[in-house]
Amino acid sequence: MSRYAWQKSSYTGPNGNCVELSRPRGLVRDSKDPNGPWLQVEIAVFIRAVKDGRFGP
């Protein structure tokens, strides 16, 4: 069992493909491959960057 509690995105579609966020560490993983690599991010910094449009086309 993982030592983290994982939560799926509220935008998860019927096929279940989404990203999951862990608590308490702010790890991100692909729900299709829960044993695959995790990405550790500083969530507050990431959200601020998205809101600022840094990941736009």
The DSSP line for 3-52 is SSEEEE-TT--TT---EEEEETT-EEEETT-TTS--EE--HHHHHHHHHT
Query: How many structural domains does the chain have?
Result: 1
Q: Which amino acid is at 45?
A: V
Q: Is residue 27 part of a domain?
A: yes
Q: For residue 1, what pLDDT is reported?
A: 44
In a domain, 35, yes or no: yes
Q: What is the DSSP letter of 2?
A: -
Q: Is the peptide bond before 34 cis (omega within 30 degrees of 0)?
A: no
Q: What range defines the domain where residue 21 resides?
A: 5-51
Let me know if residue 10 belongs to a domain.
Answer: yes
Give domain status of residue 56, yes or no: no
pLDDT digits (tens, 9 = 90+) for 8-54: 877 777 776 788 888 877 788 888 887 888 777 777 787 888 889 88
